Chains A and B, each alone.
Chain A
């Protein structure tokens, strides 16, 4: 460590104009990408809470308790699976039902007083496969009277919106990454021409391109972190404040809370590191290719 600090920087990059430009641009880019990605992750979380991810139409079938023997349930699932257009049939587990009830009532129900319903989820690619009257009629033979709850159409609209937002997010992140890389390439090329004399002398003394590249890539990494970390912290502070303003699960238990899990926060916190690594690689590749073209 001490030795590393003793090493002089043979290429005096620290005094370049890039030393303020790179932190500014990378800071702005990390700030934006943190917000965009954070918003998208939060929205996905909400959509997950509503179980509205995916692009399938859904319906839930409630069987009447007196006729719901294990055998009837099994036959009904078979019958449903054979219906045209149905892509998935699934018996909803008791745990899942209990969770939902808890969300409504705020506590575990007494199972003796409240027998759990038997629910079957089905999915289809088109709404035509989920006509409640037809399903009720078909199940009449095997399971007697059933109730079919078809998921309202607007939920699919929400789902496709989530999909679109994800797409737009990805697109924005790609654009942000491109701007960052192009800026670094430009800055590095400028620095190469500013320090052409120094580089020539170093080549003459026997410096390899990679030795020279290390100086540029370290500088790029450092400057990107100098901008990226504050940009990231600022964006995260803003997100935390915004999320505090939104209704939490305590006030509105039925609305999924707008929040992020620890994994999502860690991912967002890693953005400046990712940006810095990208900046480092971009600088290195630029130096190596530019020097490689020299005679």
Chain B
């Protein structure tokens, strides 16, 4: 269970970009995070993937207040969180294969198993022929699919996806969404930030509506 209590976030000495967030995400739940550009979706996700800590309020994940968690505890938490970053955050000098393999290698998975898993997943996202290609030589949609594969390969307890279908055509977007839904069915807590209003209709889940840094009730549309 993930719990926000009166959480606020500001970047450095700038203005507060998230205000008074109160939110509980049950384990195994699935949510969309929607709202206009600049509303704070990525910022909220960055708190969830432990890239930042709240500047005020209380955020509890995996049964612990993240403000008091040690470095090594945070590392342990991050291994249980898969993230599709809005700008992918791939390692440019590594092949698609090695990018996707990274989360498994970090936890010392057997190399044969890594190879099998990675190829299987690359095939699912339609990139099996591009395993050895590096991100700078890929299209936006290809990079996005590598990022998705890397986020899900460790079967994380929490999966955070920031606009994961932004660069994809409808069939490929649906294919990836099915992957997310499959993980969610197996207990992964899911938060997908998106501008795409079609997704919540096709793969129904509750919607969290952010506007100007505040969580609003109801859908924006």
Please tell me if B38 contacts chain A, counting CB pairs below 8 Å: no
* A10 contacts the other chain (CB 8 A): yes
| A289 vs chain B, min Cβ distance (A) | 13
In A196-237, which residues have CB < 8 Å from any B CB? 198, 201-209, 211
Selected from A3, A198, A204, the residue in CB contact (under 8 A) with B111 is A3
A198 adjacent to B91 (CB under 8 Å): yes
For residue B95, which residue of chain A has the nearest CB?
Answer: A8
Q: Which residues of A contact B76 (CB under 8 A)?
A: 206
Asked if residues A204 and B89 are in contact (CB atoms below 8 Å), the reply is: yes
B137 interface contact, C-beta 8 A: no
Distance in Å: Cβ of B15 to nearest Cβ of chain A: 21
CB of A6 within 8 Å of the partner chain? yes
* Interface residue B198 (Cβ < 8 Å from any Cβ of A): no
* Interface: A115 (CB within 8 A): no
Decide: A207 near B75, CB < 8 A? Known: A8-B98, A10-B94, A10-B102: yes
Q: Across the two chains, which residue of chain B brings its CB closest to A197?
A: B89
CB-CB contacts below 8 Å: B81-116 with A? 83, 89-91, 93-95, 98, 102-103, 105-107, 111
Task: Determine chain A's interface SS by DSSP, over half rule.
Answer: helix
A57 to B76, CA, bound (A): 68
> Which B residues, 141 to 175, have Cβ-Cβ distances below 8 Å to chain A?
150
B102 A205 Cβ-Cβ under 8 A: yes
A208 to B108, CA, bound (A): 12
Cα of A95 to Cα of B76 in the assembled complex, Å = 71
B72 touches A205 (CB 8 A): no
Instruction: Report A-chain residues with C-beta under 8 Å of the C-beta of B14.
Output: none
Give residues of chain B (178-200) contacting chain A, Cβ–Cβ below 8 Å. Answer: none
When the two chains form their complex, are residues B49 and A204 in contact, meaning their CB atoms are under 8 A apart? yes
Tell me, rounded to whole Å, the shortest Cβ–Cβ distance linking A201 to chain B.
Answer: 5
A292 located at the interface, meaning its Cβ lies under 8 Å from any Cβ of chain B in the complex: yes
**What are the interface flags for A252-295 relative to B under an 8 Å C-beta threshold, 1 for contact and 0 otherwise?**
00000000000000000000000000000000000000001001
- Whether A54 is near chain B, meaning CB under 8 Å from some CB there, is no
Give, as a whole number of angstroms, the nearest-CB distance from B179 to chain A: 18
Q: A10-B94, A12-B93 are in contact. Are A204 and B106 (CB under 8 A)?
A: no
Q: Please give me the residue from chain A that is nearest to B53 by CB atom.
A: A295
With an 8 A cutoff between CB atoms, is B63 at the interface? no
A20 to chain B, nearest CB (A): 19
In the complex formed, the residue of B with least CB distance to A294 is B71
Judged by a CB distance under 8 angstroms, whether B119 is at the interface is no
In the complex where A8-B94, A10-B102, A204-B49 touch, is A292 in contact with B78 (Cβ < 8 A)?
no
A198 vs B94: C-alpha distance in the bound complex, in angstroms? 11
Find A206's partner among B53, B78, B95 (CB 8 Å cutoff).
B78
Per a CB cutoff under 8 Å, which of B53, B93, B102 touches A202?
B102
- Give the contacting residue for A205; candidates B71, B78, B93; CB below 8 A: B78
B83 CB contacts on chain A under 8 angstroms = 204
CB of A244 within 8 Å of the partner chain = no
For window 43-99 of chain A, which residues contact chain B by CB distance below 8 Å? none
8 further interface pairs, Cβ-Cβ under 8 Å (given A203-B75, A205-B78): A7-B105, A10-B102, A12-B93, A203-B78, A204-B51, A208-B75, A209-B71, A292-B71
Interface residues of B (CB under 8 A from A): 49, 51, 53, 71-72, 75-76, 78-79, 83, 89-91, 93-95, 98, 102-103, 105-107, 111, 150
Q: Which 7 A-B pairs have the closest CB atoms?
A: A206-B79, A12-B93, A206-B78, A8-B98, A201-B89, A207-B106, A3-B111
